[in-house]
Chain A
Amino acid sequence: MSEAVQTRKSRHKGELNPRLAAYKGVWVFIEHERGQAHSVSWELLGEGRKLADLLGVELAGVVLGAAGEETRRFCEEANRYGADQCYLMENEVLRDYRNDPFTKGLTELVNTYQPEILLLGATTQGRDLAGSVATTLQTGLTADCTALTIDPENRGLLATRPTFGGSLLCTIVTLNYRPQMATVRPRVMAMPERDVNRSGRIVEHPLALAEDDIITKVLEFIADDSRGKPQLPFAEVIVAGGRGLGKPENFQLIRDLAEVLAAEVGASRPVVQAGWVEPDRQVGQSGKTVRPKLYIAVGISGAIQHRVGMEGADCIIAINNDPNAPIFDFAHLGIVGDALTLLPVLTKAFRQKLATMKQTG
Chain B
Amino acid sequence: MHSVVCIKQVPDSAQIRIHPVTNTIMRQGVPAIINPYDLFALEEALRLKDRFGGKVTVISMGPSQAEPALRKALAYGADDAILITDKSFAGADTLATSYVLAAAIRQIAREEPVDMVFTGKQTIDGDTAQVGPGVAKRLELQLLTYVSRIVSVDPDKREIVVERRAEGGVQVLRTALPCLITMLEGSNAMRFGTMPDLFRAALHPLRQWDRTAAGIEDVTKVGLKGSPTIVNKVFTPTPRATRAEMITVDGGSSQDLAAALIARMGTLFPQVEKELAKRAR
Contacts and interface: CB of A to CB of B under 8 A. Distances in A.
Interface of A: 1-5, 7-8, 10, 31, 33-34, 36, 38, 96-100, 103, 123-125, 127-128, 130-132, 134-136, 138-144, 158, 162-177, 215-224, 226, 236-237, 261-262, 269-270, 273, 279, 285-286, 293-294, 304, 307, 314-318, 327-337, 341-342, 345-346, 348-350, 353-355, 357-358, 361
A127 B166 contact: no
Interface of B: 11, 13-14, 16-18, 25, 91-95, 98, 124-134, 136-138, 142-146, 161, 163-176, 185-186, 224, 227-237, 239-240, 243-248, 254-255, 257-259, 261-262, 264-265, 268-269, 271-273, 275-277, 279-281
B143 A169 contact: no
In order of increasing CB-CB distance, the 7 nearest A-B pairs are A165-B13, A131-B133, A140-B228, A334-B244, A143-B128, A262-B279, A331-B244
B229 A2 contact: yes
17 contacts: A125-B167, A127-B129, A132-B137, A167-B17, A169-B235, A171-B231, A172-B231, A215-B176, A222-B170, A236-B275, A293-B272, A333-B268, A342-B257, A349-B255, A350-B262, A354-B276, A357-B277
A345 B129 contact: no
Contacts of B257: 335, 337, 342, 345
A131 B130 contact: yes
A316 B244 CA distance: 9
Contact of A36 (B125, B130, B144, B168): B168
Question: Which of A38, A215, A318 is the most central at the interface, judged by chain B CB atoms within 10 Å of its CB?
Answer: A215
B126 to A, nearest CB: 5
Nearest to A243: B14
Nearest to B259: A349
A170 to B, nearest CB: 5
A348 B176 CA distance: 59
Given A2-B93, A279-B185, A332-B268, A223 B244 contact: no
Contacts of A5: 25, 231, 234
Contacts of B246: 328, 333-336
Contacts of B186: 279
B143 A33 contact: no
Nearest to B143: A99
B167 A315 contact: no
B258 A342 contact: yes
Contact of B277 (A8, A127, A135, A354): A354
Given A142-B229, A170-B233, A315-B269, A237 B167 contact: no
Interface centre among B175, B258, B261, B262, by most chain A C-beta atoms within 10 angstroms, is: B258
Interface centre among A2, A261, A315 (most CB of B within 10 A): A2
A164 B13 contact: yes
B14 A165 contact: yes
Contacts of A168: 18, 25, 234-236
Contacts of B254: 337, 341-342, 345
Given A1-B94, A131-B129, A140-B95, A175 B230 contact: yes
A222 B16 contact: no
Contacts of B279: 237, 261-262
A328 B275 contact: no
A166 B122 CA distance: 14
Contacts of A172: 229-232
Contacts of B261: 317, 333, 335, 346
Contacts of B230: 2, 4, 8, 10, 172-175
Given A164-B13, A164-B16, A337-B254, A130 B245 contact: no
B229 A174 contact: yes
A333 B232 contact: no
Contacts of A128: 133, 143, 145-146
A124 B166 contact: yes
Contacts of A270: 14
Contacts of B132: 131
A345 B245 contact: no
Nearest to A170: B234
A135 B95 contact: yes
A139 B230 CA distance: 12
Contacts of A345: 254-255, 257-258
Nearest to B174: A217
Contacts of B228: 138-140, 174-177
Contact of A269 (B14, B136, B168, B276): B14
B172 A334 contact: no
B142 A99 contact: yes
Contact of A2 (B165, B169, B227, B276): B227
Contact of B224 (A2, A138, A216, A353): A2
B62 to A, nearest CB: 11
A219 B172 contact: yes
A33 B167 contact: yes
B233 A8 contact: yes
Contact of A1 (B93, B163, B173, B175): B93
A135 B280 contact: no
A221 B185 contact: no
Given A2-B91, A273-B14, A346-B258, A221 B172 contact: yes
Contacts of A134: 94-95, 130, 134
Contact of A334 (B133, B165, B174, B247): B247
